[in-house]
A and B are shown apart, each in its own frame.
Chain A
């Protein structure tokens, strides 16, 4: 039996997500407390549903911490990596958020929690253990403040605040340029990205589809860069072999952002949809899959060159 079209699958997924709405928030699994990551992906998928989007915005603003960041769930300790996803959702739900005080405070949190650079001795150790690229001066973002930088949280931060850099904020532009440099220098041997370093104690580490797609989305401003080209080639070769919702959805979003039609990934993705419209027992993956399915209709919420306001105008029934 042929798969349903991406459009049909998208509608079913969105209907499923609406049923899981907890007054504007979403959890990883039904019945659990709200989670910022799940709320971000589900609400981005549902961003043209006005009232729900407004409730999500209220939820996110209501659980912003005093330091400007967000914690993975409300009242779950210090602000962490989900701050970028909260900001990404806020700017996609309401483009005017970009200039709002809560967004400013969130950006201030991100700008103050970039990974610290090592001193000379530390860099020597990194150079010895992970090669010269690891000892560079590029800085990215961490999972938790005060720790080392990694590809995934760095990519999220770039996606969240790049429009500010484009709008002329010099400090944000410097941070994003540095983050992109970090990602570029962490390319794995043969293309693609591991979650962090590409070498550990002399051993080359393999790339992974999900982190590769995230890195490519952060580097979508340079589609002709040979490192990006090699990463995309790896991604499109591998994600379809892994054939999971997570790898296919991320691959489709990355390929589309770099100007390649993700039809093969979408074809496989639609085949993974369950009868109730979900793609996984984890709601955030259904949200992510829905975002990926949008690409079939020419929309991609993670495409940085696409004006945020245009997202609101996408015609989706």
Chain B
């Protein structure tokens, strides 16, 4: 009897171990399957890289009531934000879909904070624009997330980039094989675009921050809900192409309340208590990665970014505000990133 009991345990343990191994292999394979082979980078592509020293602000902010706009303004000069005098500026928040119990989208108060900062930099017109990647019902998203109410309160027009007029944009030296993207006119005609993501782990790219947020500038009317073509082109490489095509003036990352685990949708809340801001999006995202306990070199899109966008080496990023160590926390990573650090355990994290 004891022996049988032992056998059952041994067999169960073996099956568990086999399933776990298969799962890990499968997840790795799955992610590799999404990683379309990257082309050899050319000198022309590398020439687009920012070569100076990047300045990034790490701004502690305990909650959305903790004056995020004022805190961002205090750092604007230190990181050399550009003048936006008389310019039309598009704020691009993350509003991919809505889950009542999960921090999926940028917080409305962060939109207000960004608008306050942009206004202080002299902008003549501020537009909030997003092309939600999953939900088609933008009216519902605006209502459910509170972003619509915030836009109304601030008098900011909202543009659904999924249904905007679109124009072709050549992509001759992009990393993807797509030589022409169609992008919304609102983005192309803006004098400046500000990327305003929610900091989350991401099961295909590791982390979504200022660069992955640009998927929302791609129009659903052409590429669908979700924008599946970008995945087939290689998510990492699509991210890089969009950075070059959209050319955001700067980014503000909402890391006050974040998501860890199986992000960008199914993860759980993690209180971050900070914001990250800068003009070099590679440096901004590398700083975010360090803040969640991930080596930026472990994320494929950031390795590409370090070649053709900007800096991810800490020695070339001048941090102002707080030290990364002050805000750093270990975020649980999705199972698709085994070994990056602290893999996601749904049971332990209450998903």
Contacts and interface: CB of A to CB of B under 8 A. Distances in A.
A28 B180 contact: no
A80 B27 contact: no
B334 interface: yes
B19 to A, nearest CB: 9
Contacts of A62: none
A146 interface: yes
A195 B180 contact: no
B346 A144 contact: no
B81 to A, nearest CB: 32
A125 B26 contact: yes
Max count, chain B CB within 10 A of own CB: residue among A73, A76, A209: A76
Interface in B22-41: 22-23, 26-27, 29-30, 33
Contacts of B164: 28, 32
A34 to B, nearest CB: 10
A195 B134 CA distance: 8
Contacts of A247: 137, 140
Contact of B26 (A37, A124, A153): A124
A147 B228 contact: yes
Max count, chain B CB within 10 A of own CB: residue among A125, A142, A209: A125
A71 B226 CA distance: 17
Interface in B162-180: 163-166, 168, 180
Contacts, number: 119
A244 B165 contact: no
A76 B139 contact: no
Interface string A153-165: 1000000000000
A146 B230 CA distance: 12
A128 B26 contact: yes
A77 B180 contact: yes
B222 A72 contact: yes
A121 interface: yes
A201 interface: yes
Interface residues of B, number: 43
Given A128-B23, A128-B30, A37 B228 contact: no
A203 B336 CA distance: 13
A196 B231 CA distance: 14
Contacts of A121: 29
Contacts of A76: 166, 168, 182, 222
A200 B346 CA distance: 13
A8 interface: no
A280 to B, nearest CB: 7
Interface in B132-180: 134-137, 139-140, 143, 160, 163-166, 168, 180
Contacts of B266: 200-201, 203, 205
Interface of A: 28-29, 32-33, 35, 37, 71-73, 76-77, 80-81, 121-122, 124-125, 128-129, 142-144, 146-148, 150, 152-153, 195-196, 200-203, 205-206, 208-210, 242, 244-247, 280, 282, 284
27 contacts: A32-B165, A37-B221, A72-B222, A76-B182, A77-B182, A81-B224, A122-B33, A125-B29, A125-B30, A125-B33, A128-B30, A129-B27, A143-B225, A148-B232, A153-B224, A195-B134, A195-B225, A195-B226, A201-B27, A201-B203, A205-B265, A210-B135, A210-B136, A244-B143, A280-B139, A282-B160, A284-B163
Interface of B: 22-23, 26-27, 29-30, 33, 99, 134-137, 139-140, 143, 160, 163-166, 168, 180, 182, 203, 221-229, 231-232, 262, 265-266, 334-336, 346, 351
Given A128-B22, A143-B227, 17 more contacts: A33-B165, A35-B163, A76-B182, A77-B180, A144-B224, A148-B228, A150-B224, A150-B228, A153-B224, A195-B134, A196-B226, A200-B203, A201-B262, A201-B334, A203-B262, A242-B140, A246-B139
